[in-house]
Structure formats: C-alpha cells, structure tokens
A and B are shown apart, each in its own frame.
Chain A
Amino acid sequence: MKGNEALAEAAIRAGADAYFGYPITPQSEVIEYLMRENPVDRTGMQVLQAESEVAAINMVYGAAGCGKRAITSSSSPGISLKMEGISYLAGAELPCVIVNVVRAGPGLGTIQPSQSDYFQAVKGGGHGDYKLIVLAPATVQESVDFVRLAFDLAFKYRNPVMILSDGIIGQMMEKVELFEQQPRIAEAEEWATVGKKPGKDSVIVTSLQLQSEEQEKVNLRLQAKYREVEKNEVRFETYQCEDAEYLFVAFGSCARITRKAMEMARNKGIRVGLMRPQTLYPFPAEELHRLAGQVRGILTVEMNAGQMVEDVRLAVNGVTGVGHFGRFGGMIPSPDEILNALEKQFIGG
C-alpha cells in the first residue's frame, strides 16, 4: 500500500473516533482515503475536512477533550499552523495523534521529502514548556504500527503524540501487514467532558492558570510526566554496532539510505554500525552515550542542515567526535555521498 493510505487505514483499525484534516501535499491521500473508505459505516469513526489547519487541530482538541481517539495529519507548513493548538493540547494534557509528512522548507518550500521539522517536533514549535512524544517511522509498515502505538502512548500519558514521517514514506508503496481492527473507546475516562454526572464535580478541560504558583505546579507535573516518558518509552534499533569502529545515527527514511551506506563501508572493510532512533523524543541518549565510548567517530545523517545532531552531541557529551552530513531542500542523499562524508570527516580519505 501507499504510505499515506496505509496510515489512514491504520487510523481506522486503531479504533480512532475522529479524523480532522486539511489537504496539503504530500499527505492529502490520508484524508482522500478516509473519505473514500467512509469509516463511519465500518466503525463509526467521524471524518471531517476542516476549513483550515487551525480549525482541524482545534476539532481534535474538542474530540480529545471528550476522551475520544482523535487524529489529524498534515505536512510542514500545515503543522506550523497547528502549533497553537498543539501547545493547548499539551497544556490541557489531552491525548491525540498528529502526523507530519514532512516536506522541505522554510516557507512554502517544496513538496519534496525532508526531515527539516525535527526541531519543531522535538523541541517545541508551539509556545510554552512542553514535549510531544515523537515517533519516526522508516517504513510503511512502521507508519502503520506507529499509529496504534501513538494512540496507546497518547492515552497512557495524556499527551499529544506526533508521528514524524516524510514525503518518501508517505508516497512510496511497500508491502504492509495491517493489524486487526481494534474497538473504539467505549467508556470515557473521568477527565473527559461527556456531561456532568450527578453528585460529581463538572469536568473542565483547560490549560489556564491565573496564579504563577499554580502554573508552576502544572509545569512541574508535566516535567515529572516527561521524565517518566524518558524512562519508559525510548525506542531505537541498532545495526552491526557490536564491532563498530564508527557509527552512523539516522532516523526515518534517511536511516534506510544510511544502512545501505553502512553495508558499502563494510564491503570496503570499514567497520561501521548504525543507530536508528524510533522515538526522537524521548531520545535514546543513554544507549548512544554507551556506543560513543566504543567508536572513533559518529556521523549523523539527516535530510536537513543539522538538527538531530544537536541531540546526538548532547548524548555523546564529548566522548567522541560527532559530525553531520545532510542534504536538504528536498534532495535525498545517496549511499555514496554518505560513505564519502564518513571517510572525509573521520578516516581521511
């Protein structure tokens, strides 16, 4: 299936209650698939094309506030528009899934694939001290599986989860195994606005505090939650790191190209490993720090001008050298280029 369509099908199967979105290339197939599939007949899932990205994310807020599984998808310029709503969702501690099929920027940029929204996804984007849980799929299969995982994590932590995909994964076709249809949420959690129960206090969904003392308490609670996320939810894969002298770090579609570069290097007798973070937040800092102790250099490969490399450097903390190789603006690095970069920066070829 095509990446975007598989992701849309996964949303239905994950038991989503509602999708709200606005068309933007390269992810419009998500809403097109949902409108064609008309899941209201299959599962009761609501699908609505909103008047704007801003409205779409706020519809997600409304549905999420009712304790429902709500999802939206967009691409980079659209995600920028959603940032206000994402901050409110994080502040009100509402669970939801936001998919960013990244294209190159800044501004209108191009519709070609990119990873240039790493900072926006991982470091904030919206205002205030908050974190999204960020999942980075590298295959169509993973973008399917991560939809279900994203809803689970969102509800476990009452926090928005972003799936940071890109135009390659959204547009390419791969074989995919779809999980079984999951039931929609039957019973609302007690924080959800579904109508005041007799004898109980009314439920209020808000991110507003008038007193600094109270706001700080909220911030501390959020930070404690993020520490839990960091403790429990780090996900990554490593390839051939046991005997590695050098290490590649790459995520998403770029990690697949980098893996090819790793194989080419090994054919030349250069022992290289690869670490692929599947969660960008929480970042696999501990494992990376451990690996840094055994290698002579780390090359971070990204389809941007150097964003994840900052987290790599923080994790490595000077234990070994960290370099960056990136193509951007919608250009995709070739395995040759990546290998050349490794040789040039670390081996002296």
Chain B
Amino acid sequence: MAEKDIINPENLVYEKTKVMTDKVLHYCPGCGHGTAHRLLADVIDELGIQGDTIGVAPVGCSVLAYYYFDVDMQEAAHGRAPAVATGIKRVLPEKYVFTYQGDGDLAAIGTAETIHACNRGENILMVFINNGIYGMTGGQMAPTTLPGMKSSTSPRGRDVRTMGNPLKMTELVAQLEGTYYVTRQSVHTPANARKAKRALKKALEYQKLNKGTCFVEIVSNCPSGWKMTPVESNKWMEEHMFPFYPLGDIKVPEK
C-alpha cells in the first residue's frame, strides 16, 4: 500500500489525539513518558474535557509536558505540583485538574505536598511516573531507586544502610482516608498500556464524583539513566522493578 493510501481518511483506523500538540517529544528513545503522555491525552480527548482540564507540570524530565499536552497548564516548582493543583482546584472546582510528576518530584522533595494533598482528599488526579532514577539531572539516585541499583550518586549500588530504603509512595498514600482510587500500572507493552489507559480514564471520571484524590503510578523505564537499550531496560524493569513495585490496583472505590 502506498503512503497516500495509508493516510487516506477512509483507511484511517488510528490517529493522533488532538490533545497532543505537534511538537517533537524531547524524551529519550524508548522512554515511557511518550506513551504515558499519549494515553492521558487520549483519555482527555475521549472524555471531551480538553477545554475543562488544567494540568500541572513538575520539575524533572516532564518539565516541558506543557509543550505536548494541548490543555491549559501551569509549571510548578520542584515537588510543589500537588499544592499548585490544590490552589487551582479550590478556585475552579468544576475543572479537571491533574499533576504529572516523577519520583524525585513526588516522592522526595515534594513528599509533604503529595501526602497532604492526598490526605485532604484534593479532588485531583496525580500521575506518578516511577523509573527509580533522576533522569533530567543525569541519573542520580531517586527515593524509589532499588536496593543495590547503581546511579551516579550510588555508583556502588544503593546501600540501604546508609542511603535509606526505596519509598513505596503509592502504598503509602493508599492508607490515607483522602485517596479514592490508587493503582500501579505500566506502559511497556500494548496490553499494559491499555490497562494504564483504563486506569487514567477511571481516575478522571471519578474526579466528577468529588470523592477524593486519584493516584495512578506508572512504573517506567529509563534507558538513558539505567544505561541500557530500550529493550534491555524493559526486561530489567520486569525482572527487578515489578517484584518490588507490583502492578495492579491498591485501593479501589467501595462498591
């Protein structure tokens, strides 16, 4: 089939959502961010809430998320996205508000903001990209770096006796009264991506109900930071990350 036939509207079975801009993603090849962006944008599109959604971009690899999501967005200081989102939601309670944060942002420097936004049950969606490393600054140890895992600030591997233990933020916030839906997903295979998309969709649908914080962790790879090929990094993620950060729902709304 020639290219012009493929792009013929009659043959079109799948297209780029209008909730993503045409800007070229700056993410490294094989990184999960692109897929996660795409899924969230898809969900916003499907729910028809592009004009009613306000996103908060963090400091980290996704600092430029506002270039890619075609919705109104605010850039937050490092770790402060849940507080910024709180400010937005309190003055615009009818809008859909989400944060999109990495592990350093959400689980280290922004721990207090994360826990208290969840504890107050702020009616927002928090998307938590956990790849166990600081990608943007060049591969330093994150709060979620696994024991023994190497990074530029744990070059001999994370020694939990001196560097502390990886933090399971998602299990932690699930304990709080304020969270309504807490789940852990991945986007490294089509099947997982579909599941993650369903989770994101549910989370935004729940926001209409005003029942509390929805928290979606996406365990992701970081080929550059982990110094692996994309394929190797996905395999490593399955073998090492998933046993420590098991996929699946952690808290679901009571029927």
Contact = CB atoms under 8 A, between A and B. Distances in A.
Interface string B55-71: 01100000110100111
B80 A92 contact: no
B85 interface: yes
A196 B51 contact: yes
Nearest to A47: B90
A258 B227 CA distance: 67
A199 to B, nearest CB: 11
B113 A55 contact: yes
B91 interface: yes
Contacts of B87: 18, 20, 58-66, 70
Query: Which range holds the interface residue count of chain B?
Result: 20 to 34
B74 A62 contact: yes
Contacts of B80: 54-55, 58, 61, 85
Contact of B113 (A51, A63, A194, A205): A51
A299 B114 CA distance: 50
A28 B8 CA distance: 65
Contacts of B70: 196, 202
Nearest to A192: B72
B90 A202 contact: no
B203 to A, nearest CB: 19
Interface residues of A, number: 39
Contacts of B74: 61-62, 65, 92, 193, 204-206
Contact of A207 (B54, B75, B85, B88): B75
A205 B77 CA distance: 12
A68 B91 contact: yes
A118 interface: no
B108 interface: no
A84 interface: yes
Interface string B76-90: 110010011111111
Nearest to B26: A210
B95 A195 contact: yes
Interface string B209-228: 00000000000000000000
Contact of B63 (A65, A70, A208): A208
The 10 A-B pairs of least Cβ separation, nearest first, read A62-B87, A58-B83, A59-B87, A206-B75, A51-B116, A193-B72, A62-B84, A58-B80, A63-B87, A55-B83
18 contacts: A18-B87, A46-B90, A51-B112, A55-B83, A59-B84, A61-B77, A61-B80, A62-B74, A84-B77, A194-B72, A195-B95, A202-B66, A204-B74, A205-B73, A206-B66, A208-B63, A208-B64, A208-B75
Interface of B: 50-54, 56-57, 63-64, 66, 69-77, 80, 83-92, 95, 112-113, 116
Interface of A: 17-18, 20, 46, 48, 50-52, 54-56, 58-66, 68, 70, 84-85, 88, 92, 193-198, 202-208
